[in-house]
Structure 1
Amino acid sequence: MTGNTIPVYPTVRPAPFDPPAELSELRAREPITRMVYPDGHVGWIVTSHELARAMLSDPRFSARSEFKRPPVSRPGAEPFYGSPALPGWLVDMDPPEHTRLRQQLAGRFTARRMRELRPKVDQIVDQLLSDMEHHGPPVDLVQHLALPLPSQLICEILGVPYDERDEFQRHSETLFSLQATAAEASAAMDKLYALLRGLTKRDRDRGEGLLAMLAEDGTLDPEEIAGVGVLLLTAGHESTSKSLALSTFALLSHPDQLAKLVADPTLTDNAVEELLRYLTVFHFGVPRTPLEEVWFGGRLLRAGESITVSLPAANRDPGWFGSTADRLDIERRTTGHVAFGYGIHQCLGQNLVRMELRSALPALFRRFPRLHVAIDPGQVPLSCDMSVYGVQSLPVAW
């Protein structure tokens, strides 16, 4: 990017764990600057940690889907962006609707609730690792651990039968794909809503899971409960699966950091936070739109202009994380990272993701101390064509 050229959102990565270099260049030169969106709209991109947190906590910037534009080409977003939010889809709402829905859910995902779930998570992890051991190397870590762990757990929390996983995983993949057409994404969403409607009705009668509790409470209508279920089911397994597999790949690629973690398990919590920061699987950031004319970061932003807050750029900002921000350092002070966003829309399930990683990563390396990537690391397939970044598969042996 040179001269007065207005950039597009960069997507080419210099290495598997590093965001596009252009993001760092923009952050150093103009932490809020113009950006061209795929539909030709000229909006903005925010790349600094300070401005990212300021914008994400400022009520003048809306998260409503009516105003959203994807920063990269994503035909599957067309049925959902530019239109009012689907019932229950609180990530696409502002207060008071967002507040009303989130208040019904926040208490179910507190750190205390997650600690209560920890024995169950450890049990699932132990069984999955035993199955891996029984299968024998090589195995795909995604299919044997990173995907089934969050899928089983979110199914249990919601009250969704785990034998429905093939269906919801298939439709979820369509929704997160950058290649899916508008018709494919719309059909996938319709099928997921239909699935959750049926499960909510069944579970209300049986009194099982979060969906049943919401139905019994009666505060949310059936379509909102179905929408909340779709949101939690898809996001609840997709982001954790990508984070767990990519974190394993990163640790195996940084043996010095892995050795520190193995030698000192008390580093686990901090290692998880550093991996979340360093990898930032929501690699296209989050959209916001000013509801009024706003002076922000020395720029005049007009009502209706699209803004992309680049979470990967903010999480590599040396102004907050120091001169080694581009390195993986599990002993780093990670306070303030925005891997889960920031402000009122900060990821509802962040404590669940943390707890699953804190359980799975140490257990994996205890069980398989000689774990290694079973193919050339340069050949590990990356999911650059998904809105959540990660590896498509990770063959490992021990």
Structure 2
Amino acid sequence: MTDTTLEQPTVPLFPIDPLGTDRHGEAAQMRDLGPVVRAVLPGGVRMWVVTDYTLLAELTADPRVGRDWRNWTALRRGEVPDDWPLLGMIRLNNLMARDGAEHRRLRRPLTRHFTRARVERMAPRIDQIVATMLDDLPRQVAADGTVDLRRHYAYPFPMQVICELIGVPEQWWARFRALIDTVIRADTTAEQFVAAQQERHELFQRLFAMRRAEPADDLTSALLTDDGDEAEDAFTDEELEDTLWTLIGAGHETSISLIVNATRALLTHPEQLAMVRAGDRGTWGQVIEETLRWDSPVGNFPARFPTEDVTVAGVTIPKGDAILAPWSGVNRDPQQYGETADRFDITRPVKRHLAFGSGPHVCIGPALARLEGMAALPPLFARYPELRLAVDPAELTAVPSIFSNSVTGLPVHLGPEQR
């Protein structure tokens, strides 16, 4: 694919591994190349990458840098095909892809209904879901004595929570999960991408018809009936569809990775696990925050687009070019966390991280992610105190994705169950 932007010879090109096989090694290589590099994505699409923690935080807060894909010069010129699979994370009609007044209009209904109070009201139900799944884990043990903790615990738990919150019928949960996998995976074909977009549209139209006919105590019903403080606040069906699609995707994919990555971190750092076992419940909060920093659920997230030329570390990023945010990479930036940035350490004094993004488009669901982490991790280790990995950590396979930063499976031995 031809790149029509003016090349700057001092800015190196870096081919992003679409399969994410060495996410943190890749991030370190880009940092070594400089604070600003050009990434080459599948299909030859190029995006700028800011590898420095502070510079990226400043850039994402810059009002000249927005999320509206209509400003993407390469897309407008037809240099990015309509069936490019990664467009599913970019070309949306919701608050993630709007700026300024339009972003605020689309965010207001969510702030009214997707509140911390609504999330916290779900806490008893979340605990009930966790207890049921922990009870069921021994029945999921394979013939070799292992159980895939991702498949049988980390995945179904947050998927059930977000679907119940939104009001998705249980019989649709598996299809939504499959459709989201299609969007985030790097090995999705153009045909699969187009089919997935059509199917999710049809599912949402059916959901809206159901909730208009019979409203329920869920987020879909609340947003369908919300006329807003101002007349223009009300969502169109397309805006609501893309909003709920993003909430389902982000609302469970990040929690899956948080639970898997935290469990893997503790099982491969026994000295840290010992500190957790010796501490109070507040220590688990440190586990969650350090996991969010050390092994952030989101690897790279597209895309932002300058509405005018911007200069970062002496490099000019032209108006309309795409910028990829390497959230997991900058969360190990030695300039921010010192020479121990690559170390998993729950006693780390610097707790601030960018796992949920930064700027006006910061993630709207951190409270739910943290609540799910606190609900899932302590009882898992309490119920199965001899929990251990069943394979060498080097044998774990990364999720084949530019976006998702985790592994496809987490085989463990449960050990004797402690009820």
Out of 214, 217, 221, the position equivalent to 2:223 is 214
TM-score in terms of structure 2 length: 0.85
The amino acid of 1:178's aligned partner reads A
Residue number in structure 2 paired with 1:270: 286
TM alignment of 1:53-202, pairs within 5 A: 53-67=57-71, 75-78=84-87, 85-87=91-93, 89-136=94-141, 137-202=145-210
Q: CA RMSD in A?
A: 2.7
Instruction: Assess, with a 3 A threshold, how the Cα gap between structure 1 residues 166 and 14 changes in structure 2: closer, same or farther.
Output: closer
Q: Which runs of 5+ in 2 are unaligned?
A: 1-8, 76-80, 228-233
CA distance in 2 between counterparts of 1:146 and 1:159 reads 20
Is the 2:179–2:196 contact (alpha carbons within 8 Å) kept by the matching residues of 1?
yes
Q: Which among 266, 270, 274 is matched to residue 259 of structure 1? A: 274
SS state of the match for residue 45, structure 1? strand
Counterpart position of 1:234 = 249
Aligned letter for 2:223? L
Secondary structure of the residue aligned to 1:335 is coil
Matches of 1:319 and 1:95 in 2, distance apart?
31
Q: Which amino acid letter does the alignment assign opposite residue 30 of structure 1?
A: G
Q: Deviations over 1:347-391 (max 9, x none)?
A: 112211111011111110000000011233332222134531211
CA contact (8 A) 2:310 2:316 kept: yes
Report the alpha carbon displacement of residue 236 of structure 1 after superposing the two structures with TM: 1.6
1:212-262 CA deviation, whole Å, 9 max, x = no partner? 111112411222222222221222222211221122112111111111112
Residue by residue over 1:176-215, the C-alpha shift from the partner in whole angstroms, topping out at 9 and shown as x without a partner, is: 1111122211211221121112112212322221111111
Distance 1:274 1:221, change over 3 A: same
| Count of aligned positions | 389
Q: Which moved more, 1:118-127 or 1:6-15?
A: 6-15
- The counterpart of 1:245, out of the listed 253, 260, 263, is 260
How many percent identity over aligned positions?
A: 32
Equivalent residues in 2 for 1:4-23, closer than 5 Å: 6-11=12-17, 19-21=24-26, 23=27
Distance 2:193 2:254 in 1: 18
Q: CA deviation at 1:78?
A: 4.5
Q: 1:44 aligns with which of 44, 48, 60?
A: 48
CA distance in 2 between partners of 1:316 and 1:225 (Å): 35
Q: Which amino acid aligns with 1:153?
A: V
Correspondence for 2:5 = none
Corresponding position: 1:369 with 2:385: yes
Q: Which amino acid aligns with 2:64?
A: R
Q: Aligned to 2:323, which of 295, 307, 318?
A: 307
Kept after mapping to 2: 8 A contact 1:262/1:362: no
Worse-superposed segment, 335-344 or 213-222: 213-222
Compared CA separation, residues 356 and 178, structure 1 to 2 (3 A): same
Q: Which amino acid aligns with 1:51?
A: L
CA distance in structure 2 between the partners assigned to 1:192 and 1:48 by the alignment? 36
Counterparts of 2:152 and 2:89 in 1: how far apart (Å)?
33
Runs (4+) of structure 1 exceeding 6 A deviation are 12-16
Question: Is the contact between residue 197 and residue 223 of structure 1 (CA under 8 Å) also seen in structure 2?
Answer: no
Amino acid at match of 2:50: V
- Deviations for 1:261-292, whole angstroms, at most 9, x for unmatched residues? 12213211121011011112221244222111
Residue in 2 that maps onto 1:289: 305
**CA drift at 1:25:** 4.6
Length-normalised TM-score, structure 1: 0.89
The code of the aligned residue for 2:354 comes to: V
- The Cα shift of 1:43 comes to 4.9
SS in 1 for 2:14: coil
Q: Is the 8 A contact 2:86 2:184 kept in 1?
A: no
Q: Is the 8 A contact 1:76 1:175 kept in 2?
A: yes
Q: Answer whether contact 2:31 2:52 (CA < 8 A) is retained.
A: yes
Q: Is the 8 A contact 2:11 2:36 kept in 1?
A: no
Q: Counterpart in 2 of 1:223?
A: 238
Structure 1 gaps, min length 5: none
Contact 2:257-2:297 within 8 A present in 1 as well: yes
Give the counterpart letter for 2:178 in structure 1: R
